[in-house]
A and B are shown apart, each in its own frame.
Chain A
Amino acid sequence: MPEVRIKTLPPPHGGKLVERVVRDPQMAMKLMQKCSAVYDIKPTLFKGNPVRNVYREIMSVCYGFFSPVEGSMTKADLESVLEKRRLTSGWVFPYPILFDISEEDFKKLGVGAGDWLLLRLKGEPFAILEIEEVYEIVPGDVAVRTFGTPEKNPEVVKVPFDQKHTGYNIYCSLNPIILAGKYTIINEPKLRPPFDRFWYPPKRCREEFEKRGWTTVIAHQTRNVPHTGHEALMKNAAYIGDVKPCDGIVVNAIVGAKRIGDFPDEAIVEGHEMVHLAGYIKPERHLVTFTLWDMRYGNPIESLIHAVIRQNMGISFHMFGRDHAALGEYYDIFATQILWSKGIPSFGFNEPPYMVEGGFYIRPQNIEEFWFCPKCKEFAYSANCAHKGIYSRYSGSFIRGIINEGVMPPPEIYRPEVYKVVVKWWQKFGYPFNNEKYLKEREERLEVDLPHMELPAHLKK
């Protein structure tokens, strides 16, 4: 009989966890000496509003969330990702990771292949980009090829992407010059509260699992304050495991620039934390974490970056629900589950991503839906409950709508403690959701502060 017990955490995607963070100030100074120019990181703007900040990608690369990616992609890697959803090394990777810069800034910097560029964030040295290649892109073309089209990807893409899609706008708003090469953080940022207590980069996360004795762990992707349907999903999906249900449930929030109308990230991470502080899941079995990433809302494509991140964190299973990381009706609502159950050939997957070469160890837990059924008197699983016409389906936007109208959600929808976390941040920001003011202020504040670090003399000019 085969042994079914899972005894170890899955290996990092690509075989080795990337960690490119220099913590020795003398070494940092040595590396800065090799830089020939300084560049202040700027947010990517769409119609004047911040939609992305490349610093988040640099953090996620250097702390290993995106292993085996080590920096801004070369043209060959970019083409390979857009064509096959694979790096040139053969490992599955879904999104272009790029350091883009305007022609004007490029001319001013006067750098080229072989040069090192010091990247400054919030006025302080932050990271180094070892420029390996400089090339140009057509941002609109990258955007279309990233998300697919109904003609090329008829299995799951229903309508062409347009300016109502945040992820599409991110790629359309990139600058045309790409500086490709490895990133190294040389001045480790300090995470701001409340994010600091949820910062579990892959290395720390794996250490935490070992400390807790976890070998079977399931990931819950979130961009929402959890309602009771999310809680039912987490608890029930975690019954997968080996000889017993999963040891741990890891919530991994995607933190970054988001859509107007989403919940603020502060409320999202603290809302999930409240699920264990208020005792709905024991804290010994529940870990709230986040990854810095400006969400692309790419449904099946986004599910692949989630698999990269969570496998690198040491997670063995991943919940995928309907409309996973989706926005609007661009993709089939079950596109992610199609990908993870039979594959999507037009995106380079003749089989599910855990069966292809260069794919994942992490396994999907494709969940249909939970709804509230007054006859079952429970959060019923859609494949079980046959009480058509009386159950109530969950909808994040419906819940945001009742909050917006000033109606307190009943406990059947929101745990009262979780709703009070929303109110806490509502008091602070004057608004329960992301609005233009919040997004702009948030972009100045970011999620990190940087310690002061002196520049070498030759870069002070």
Chain B
Amino acid sequence: MAKFFGVVIDETRLKAIKGTPLEEKVEPIFGGALKRLVLEVPDDLGQKVIDQFTKARFDARGFIEETPASFKRLVFKKILEMKSLGPEVMEAALAEIPSIKDDIAKEDKELPVPDIDISDVLELQKNPAQKPA
């Protein structure tokens, strides 16, 4: 059974592929709330990806998940360069992993906190329904 690798397409990435054949391959997910491109890779290549990263695994849908964000960025870069969603994209990304080693190491320690206002949930938590015994 083939395995899959999904790349989430946000506004910036959508702009980068605009007008290319890749644009037509963008799939809406969750009713269009998110978009993605999907690479289909043979089993052995999928396993090679899993072997590169300690946390990576196949999920129940057969998708390769929990790879570092910098690897996903690299895969997207290769998609753009090669204008393809074929297995050669994944082969090329795997070959370039040494170039992102430092980024991957950093990612395991710290990720920038999103700049969003959470005061409403802190307010809700001031009066919890469940109290300590």
Contacts and interface: CB of A to CB of B under 8 A. Distances in A.
A423 B116 contact: yes
Interface residues of B, number: 45
Nearest to A372: B30
Interface residues of A, number: 59
Contacts of B32: 374
A322 B128 contact: no
A297 B112 CA distance: 30
A114 B117 CA distance: 59
B132 A191 contact: yes
Contact of A288 (B55, B107, B130, B131): B130
Contacts of B120: 417, 420
A374 B130 contact: no
A393 interface: yes
A183 interface: no
Main secondary structure of the interface of B (DSSP, over half): loop
B121 interface: yes
Given A393-B61, A406-B114, A261 B34 contact: no
A427 interface: yes
Interface string B54-75: 1101111101011111001000
A450 interface: no
A413 B59 contact: no
B31 interface: yes
A372 B121 CA distance: 26
B124 interface: yes
B95 interface: no
Interface string A343-379: 0000000000000000000000000000010100100
Contacts of B69: 401, 404-406
- Which of B10, B58, B113 gathers the greatest number of chain A CB atoms within 10 Å? B113
A427 to B, nearest CB: 5
Nearest to A260: B55
A41 to B, nearest CB: 24
A146 to B, nearest CB: 21
Interface string B98-133: 000000000111111110101011101100111111
Interface stretch (A148-156, A271-279, A302-310): A271-279
A277 B129 contact: yes
A402 B8 contact: yes
A426 to B, nearest CB: 5
Contact of B60 (A333, A412, A437): A333
Given A260-B55, A333-B60, A430-B110, A278 B128 contact: no
Interface string A397-410: 11011101111101
B8 A420 contact: no
A372 B113 CA distance: 28
A328 B61 CA distance: 12
A277 B67 CA distance: 33
B66 A412 contact: no
A157 interface: no
A245 interface: no
A205 B110 CA distance: 38
A94 B9 CA distance: 44
B8 A431 contact: no
Nearest to B68: A404
Given A395-B60, A413-B30, A404 B114 contact: no
A372 B31 contact: yes
Interface stretch (A13-21, A85-93, A192-200): A192-200
A412 B10 contact: no
Interface string A374-393: 10010000000000000011
Contacts of B110: 430-431
Contacts of A287: 130
Nearest to B131: A197
Nearest to B122: A424
Interface of A: 191, 193, 196-199, 204, 259-261, 270, 273-274, 276-278, 283, 287-288, 322-323, 327-329, 333, 372, 374, 377, 392-393, 395-398, 400-402, 404-408, 410-413, 417, 420-421, 423-424, 426-427, 430-432, 435-437
25 contacts: A198-B130, A204-B133, A261-B66, A277-B128, A333-B60, A377-B31, A392-B30, A395-B65, A397-B66, A398-B63, A400-B65, A404-B107, A407-B34, A408-B116, A412-B31, A412-B33, A413-B33, A423-B113, A423-B116, A424-B118, A424-B122, A426-B111, A427-B113, A430-B111, A431-B109
Interface of B: 6, 8, 10, 28-34, 54-55, 57-61, 63, 65-69, 72, 107-114, 116, 118, 120-122, 124-125, 128-133
